[in-house]
Amino acid sequence: MVVQARASPILQLIRGTVENVRVRELPDQDLVQRFHTQQNQAAFHVLLRRHGPMVLDVCRGVLGNEADAEDAFQATFLIFARKAGSIRKTASLASWLHGVAYRTALKARAQSASRQRHEACVPARMSSQPDDLTWREVRQVLHEEVNGLPERYRAPLVLCYLEGATQDGAAVQLNLAKSTLRERLERGRALLRTRLVRRGLGPAAVLVTAAWPAPNAFACLPASMVSSTVKAASLFAAGQTAGVGLISAKAAALTEGVLRTMLLSKIKVAVVITLVIGALGIGASALPYRTVAAEPPSPEFKSAARGQDDGNVKETVLALEKRIWEAHTSRDLDAVAALLADDYAGSDSRGRADTKKSNLDWMVNFRVVDPEMKNAKVVVLNSTSAIVTYEIQYKITSPGGQLLETVPPRQVTSAWAQRGGKWWCVYGEASVLGNDGSRSKATGTADHRKADDTWKMNALIELGKVNREYVKPPKRD
């Protein structure tokens, strides 16, 4: 029997130091891969140290409150921890983080403004540069305009101007020839200068684009924030909730809010693709998404969650979509509540915002009768998400059975996502179908809106709240 001696603490320290040095020298794409596949905490720590100063500078530029800036900083890296596997251009990670940090900071600012409207105003704790408010405003405009540049120009600018990388280092990182990197940098700087002048910065735009200081010169990351963010990200990437004390409640809420917004943006893009398929008759095999009949599922897809292939996903979401309409006919609020996600969002045929609550509130007062669904199509995005489109026509009655309206044909698009093994409807959109099959939102004239108000009032009358005669609104042209 061979007994292996335990390595001494000194030897373990040496090995750890050597390994950390090796990790620090890896490019972004290798570090992202390590973190995503192995949940390697050291890889995440290196990425946070490498790009954290730039991210914190973006957050401080948008937010005047240091605590809010730190919340946005942590939320940005938690979003990265959750989305690491879906970033297509990991070599341009700095550019990706810049965009996420800017949008996250904007959302934090909106939430802060909302809190101040409902709470007593508390003096804000300013950032570490309280006497430099004008410069902070300039930085805010700069980050906004950098975020609006095309990716080919934004990535070199973020690396060289916001992170202080050399042109040679940026060329290697982005896998570009030095001459190509230099051309893109010059072109990006010229575009940025034009944008800044258009925003009214004038001569300051030339100064900013000529000598923008890298944030490493002044943005020191607090050790406690780095440590707590790394630990929280490891838990977050594994699908667990960050422990108490690692991140604030505001940072957690901000993270979930931005992730929800990113999901809805992705869904809207998928909806547009789905509509293009229907409008142009493009075969789904020509697109990056798979329709149900396009091709047999791959082995990887067969082994995905719950073993569903494309056909099974189609049948599942289509049955659930029909179940929603069946629940509307029986006014089964519990059934609808069990199918609509809490963060469900969409719009009705008049372009008004639609939520889970508004759906359930509508069902309290009205009932759907004789829904007729036709031309249903399903686009399977992956094993856990799909888009459903179809035409539908139905009638609306009061709970007592009086006919209130015969709804003309509508085109409905909904998105379904599987969460924790259960399917949820996360997005819905309805539009009016014209005689030629065209889709539009029924905004209506002032007379029509007035008629709608009469329709609603008389619908409530029929419910027994007031005993007056029901008046049906005039028919729209």
CA distances from 367 to 336, 359, 429, 431 (A): 13, 11, 19, 20
* Residue 58 contacts residue 77 (beta carbons within 8 Å): no
- pLDDT at 338 > cutoff 90: yes
| 314 contacts 416 by C-beta, under 8 angstroms | no
The per-residue pLDDT for 275 is: 57
Most confidently modeled range among 47-51, 136-140, 215-219, 258-262: 47-51
**Per-residue pLDDT at 208:** 56
On whether the CB atoms of residues 397 and 472 are closer than 8 A, the answer is: no
Is there a contact between 426 and 417 (Cβ–Cβ < 8 Å)? yes
Q: How confident is the model at residue 270 (pLDDT cuts 50, 70, 90)?
A: low
Tokens of 98: 């810049």
Alpha-helix residue ranges (DSSP H) falling in 338-445: 356-365
- DSSP H or E run through 377: strand 367-382
Residue 449 has a pLDDT of 43
Decide which of 430 and 395 is more confident.
395
Tokens standing for 256?
């979930």
Average pLDDT over residues 186-210: 74
- Structure confidence at residue 181 as a pLDDT band (50, 70, 90): very high
CA distance 333 to 337: 6
Residue-averaged pLDDT of the chain: 75
Q: Which residues contact 318 (CB under 8 A, 6 or more apart)?
A: 376, 378, 388
Give all domains of the chain, ordered by start, each with its CATH number: 9-237 (no CATH), 278-443 (3.10.450.50)
